[in-house]
Structure 1
Amino acid sequence: MDKPAILEGKSYSDERGNVIFNNDFNVTEIKRMYYIENTDTEFIRGWTGHKIEQRWFSALQGSFLIRLIKIDHWELPSRQSEILKFELNAGNLNVLHVPKGYVSAIQAREENSRLLVMGDYFLGESDDIYRFPIDYFENL
């Protein structure tokens, strides 16, 4: 998958309760995971990206707006790039796949939101982190 996409979760309910699942999400590439809690809903964490690493995001609690920009020239990326926007909510176990070559900006939409982040490289396995000031891309 070369473009970001949401793998949609599903749910099932019966007299025993609810099951929320995502059978379309293949976890075989995942090597590590962690979660993010932003300080508040005004704070935007970003822009951070990877040339070779992939990421998968899923809201564990609350909801998030995730903005993505494709970077073709990492040394001097365009300051006016198209921003893709995705909303993730804890209630449905959707997973956003972010292929290599993208930077992200992450904003919690609700207080106490938690975002699960999964990656396909172990911490320290690659030197593949690129950060840009939050105001670098003019059309945020």
Structure 2
Amino acid sequence: MNIAKPKIIKGGCFKDERGTVSFINDFNMSSIKRMYAIKHESLQTIRAWQGHKIEHKYFKCTKGSFAVAWKKIDNYKCPSDLPLPEYHILKASENQILSIPPGYMNGLKAIEKNAEILVFSNLNLEASLKDSIRFENKLWLDWFNNIR
């Protein structure tokens, strides 16, 4: 099976005397069923790990910056240590969305206090909860020493 990989969807902006228009025209929202916002007031908060067999998630930082990590799921009951997680720093100042397709776990941590991030999903809440697999946030990644 050829599984999709996480990727960055880049946007742009247009500025003139009237102001600025920011856009991410390559973000196809036709499959989106819900959206929610997360705010981390503390730099100690880690939301990880959530895995999904069928849910596709998209992350857009709207204030500050977040480290968003992902790890391919090789075994849904007991994932192996390899491959190691990868991560990307999403910044509100950079107009981009991180796409994490089904078959991956994800986690996130604010890099700046009071950072905010939007999450878009292709599943409604009920379906997402049925699809969710969770693991301890201390596994696979040292969020405090390995994120740069």
TM category (shorter chain) comes to over 0.9
Greater displacement, 73-82 / 45-54: 73-82
Equivalent in 60, 68, 76 of residue 58 of structure 1: 60
State how 1:34-53 maps to structure 2 within 5 Å: 34-53=36-55
**Equivalence for 1:88:** 90
Equivalent in 2, 5, 12 of residue 4 of structure 2: 2
State how 1:1-140 maps to structure 2 within 5 Å: 2-126=4-128, 127-137=130-140
| Secondary structure of 1:35 counterpart | strand
User: What residue identity is the alignment partner of 2:92?
Assistant: A
Gaps of at least 5 residues in structure 1 are: none
Q: 2:84·2:140 contact (CA, 8 Å) conserved in 1?
A: no
Q: 1:59·1:116 contact (CA, 8 Å) conserved in 2?
A: yes
Q: 1:79·1:138 contact (CA, 8 Å) conserved in 2?
A: no
| Secondary structure of 1:124 counterpart | helix
- Tell me, in whole angstroms, the C-alpha distance in 1 between the residues paired with 2:25 and 2:31: 15
Q: CA deviation at 1:39?
A: 3.5
| Secondary structure of 1:12 counterpart | strand
Q: CA deviation at 1:92?
A: 2.9
CA RMSD of aligned residues (A): 1.6
| Secondary structure of 1:117 counterpart | strand
TM-score by length of structure 1 reads 0.92
Q: 1:36·1:116 contact (CA, 8 Å) conserved in 2?
A: yes
Gaps of at least 5 residues in structure 2 are: 144-148
CA pair 58-138 structure 1, distance change in 2 beyond 3 A:
closer
